[in-house]
Amino acid sequence: MEEQLDHISAEIYQKSYVIVDNFVDKEFQSALLAEQMQLLGQGKFRHAAVGKGGQKQVRTEIRGDEVHWMDADDLSPLQAAYWEKLEEIRKALNQNCFLGLRSFEGHFARYPIGSFYKRHLDQFQAVPHRVVTVILYLNDSWTQDEEGALRMYIPQEDGSELIEDVLPVGGRLVIFLSGEIPHEVLPTKKERISITGWFRNID
Ligand SMILES: O=C(O)CCC(=O)C(=O)O
Ligand SMILES: [Fe+2]
């Protein structure tokens, strides 16, 4: 874990993003997936909105996922275990990258077949407090043919962008600086399940 935390910090410091495979083991991943499926079955997911406050709107031509926000005061034991792992990352990033991360917010997400999320930044004027994005993928298996990659546009020093496509392979964790890396979810050919969250610089 110590080594992993150092690796994560170094990559964020140098490249603004990092991909960690098998961040959780199969058992933990399956349990989280089962919990998400149960919440889905209970009708606890809602179409995700874009914008903030009074501007909030469901616009499936921009994003087609459905989400269920985790309640910090009412986490299931599994969710609490995941938050504890993230807490280690938060501390490491503060120690090594001086990001001043103080809290976490996150939701389960489900992208139905054919859905996507167009290019965007997670930190913008109306949402200034998201500093680091953290995504854990939960699908049991994923192949290239199923598409649905996370496409990150990595800014280069010469002003160009490098495209990095990341398949939502179960157990894979992706971390990036919310204000630095525009990204999108390409249309998926399979139901795509994940937990997305943000470390914030406020409580
Ligand atoms: O699921 C992903 O790969 C990215 C999701 C995303 O960009 C978001 O929820 O803001
Ligand atoms: Fe995003």
Query: Which residues, 6+ apart, have CB-to-CB distance to 46 below 8 Å?
Result: 66, 67, 68
| Cβ atoms of 199 and 93 closer than 8 Å | yes
- Res. 126: pLDDT tops 90: no
User: What integer is the mean pLDDT of 101-112?
Assistant: 98
User: What integer is the mean pLDDT of 105-118?
Assistant: 98
pLDDT of residue 174: 98
Buried b (16+ CB within 10 A) or exposed e, 154-169: beeeeeeeeebebbbe
Ligand 1 site, residue 188, Cβ cutoff 6 A: no
Rounded Cα distance, 109 and 87, in Å: 20
The predicted-structure confidence for 74-87, as pLDDT tens digits, reads as follows 999 999 999 999 99
pLDDT of residue 196: 98
Rounded Cα distance, 17 and 55, in Å: 30
**Residue 3: CB atoms within 10 Å:** 7
Ligand 1 site, residue 135, Cβ cutoff 6 A: yes
pLDDT of residue 127: 84
What spacing in Å lies between the alpha carbon of 133 and ligand 2's midpoint? 8
Rounded Cα distance, 16 and 13, in Å: 6
Q: Which of 117, 164, 193, 195 to mutate to test the pocket of ligand 1 (most atoms within 8 A of CB)?
A: 117
Architecture label for domain 2-200? Sandwich (2.60)
The predicted-structure confidence for 2-50, as pLDDT tens digits, reads as follows 899 999 999 999 999 999 999 999 999 999 999 999 999 999 999 998 9
Rounded Cα distance, 93 and 10, in Å: 9
- Res. 53: pLDDT tops 90: no
| Cβ atoms of 200 and 127 closer than 8 Å | no
pLDDT of residue 51: 85
pLDDT of residue 116: 98
Ligand 1 site, residue 196, Cβ cutoff 6 A: yes
pLDDT of residue 24: 97
pTM above 0.90, yes or no: yes
| Cβ atoms of 106 and 134 closer than 8 Å | yes
pLDDT of residue 52: 82
- Closest-CA residue, ligand 1 atom 10, reads 122
pLDDT-based confidence at 90, cuts 50/70/90? very high
Rounded Cα distance, 27 and 202, in Å: 33
Ligand 1 site, residue 150, Cβ cutoff 6 A: yes
pLDDT of residue 84: 98
Ligand 1 site, residue 117, Cβ cutoff 6 A: yes
Domain ranges, ordered by start, for the chain? 2-200
- Res. 144: pLDDT tops 90: yes
Q: Which ligand is nearest to the CA of 137?
A: 1
- Res. 125: pLDDT tops 90: no
pLDDT of residue 74: 97
